[in-house]
A and B are shown apart, each in its own frame.
Chain A
Amino acid sequence: MIGYLLSFMILWSVAYSVWAGTSAEVSNSVITSGAEAVELVLTLAGSMAVWGGIMKIAERSGLTQALTKLMQPVLKLIFRGLKKDSEALRAIAMNLSADLMGLGNAATPLGIEAMRALEREESPGERATPNMIKLAVMNSCSAEIIPATVAALRAEAGSASPMEILPCVLLVSFASLAVALLVAEVLNIGAKR
């Protein structure tokens, strides 16, 4: 899908540039875009490496697991109807802790594991259960506490205070997560009738 979208954008750009007389600029951007991509990856790689290192220490020292335990009671309010010491709930808690810590690559496999555990425990057939919907919705919202990637890009662009956006990010993340879960909840109730 992204391939189609980009091909369309490129075709449109060329057509538009002929009309607007910006062919020289477009030609230039074709030549420089590869270098820009490398530059962007270099900026990201540094901060990603540092956070990956810090979070691996958190994982090995048991901090991530402690966070997981702390979250279970709250998660029980969102994911209802699961049996006592449910494997799925544990997986969901691990998935969310990884998300909070900004461990994107660890969070996705954990989330998929949680999804499979939910499938085993709720045997939905072909239709998603309310808990599965909530898990997918929760992961499509950002729960990251430290927006490290964005801060790295801001620092590179010469920001006086790359992390100043932190309170805004926390507020907006939380609000959008709350709205998404609420909508899922309301639609669940609507679907039951």
Chain B
Amino acid sequence: MPPKAAKGEYIETDTGNKISRRSQIHGTQHIILGGKTVIQAEAVIRGDLYRLPSTASTDPSNPPQPSNAPSVAITVGRYSYISKSAVLRPPSRLHRGVHSFYPLKIGDHVFVGESAVIEAASLGNHVHVGAGATVGSMAIIKDFAVVLDGAVVPPGMVVPSWCVVGGRPARIVGEVGEGYGVEGAEGGMARERYRVVGRP
């Protein structure tokens, strides 16, 4: 249950995003929120780490990259929920001697637990990331996957759909049931979660 926030804690945008005034969002022009997304206090979203065409802020000696790369750093789908103190930062990779950032895509109905660190390349729909979990750079979490609390998903790992991963490093420890993600049941609480946020 999210804590009852003080009145006016959340800014509600036209598309229904509820964003805490105490969150830290950098590079807002590089972040796309799908609507009805909740961002709680002290969450850090690093939109400023987008893929640069040629500037040298991330890497002083990089050769010019093809500029057709979109400058969107983070995409978040609908009804996703970024808990308190969670960190979203785009993944980065050293490719041919160049350190560059890649976009971070988060699907719909995603839950990111408290003080989790997400550096994945993509989180699918209905993904649940537990509190204190770390998702390493360029990891891919497919739809309906669950990352248990405190798990460390190593960089580059792929978590298939319906799988539960846990541990350090994360391994597949089980599968969720077929009913996972049904509205209102486990994995399908996103609308309810959204609804109660910011209510006095």
Say whether A associates with B: no
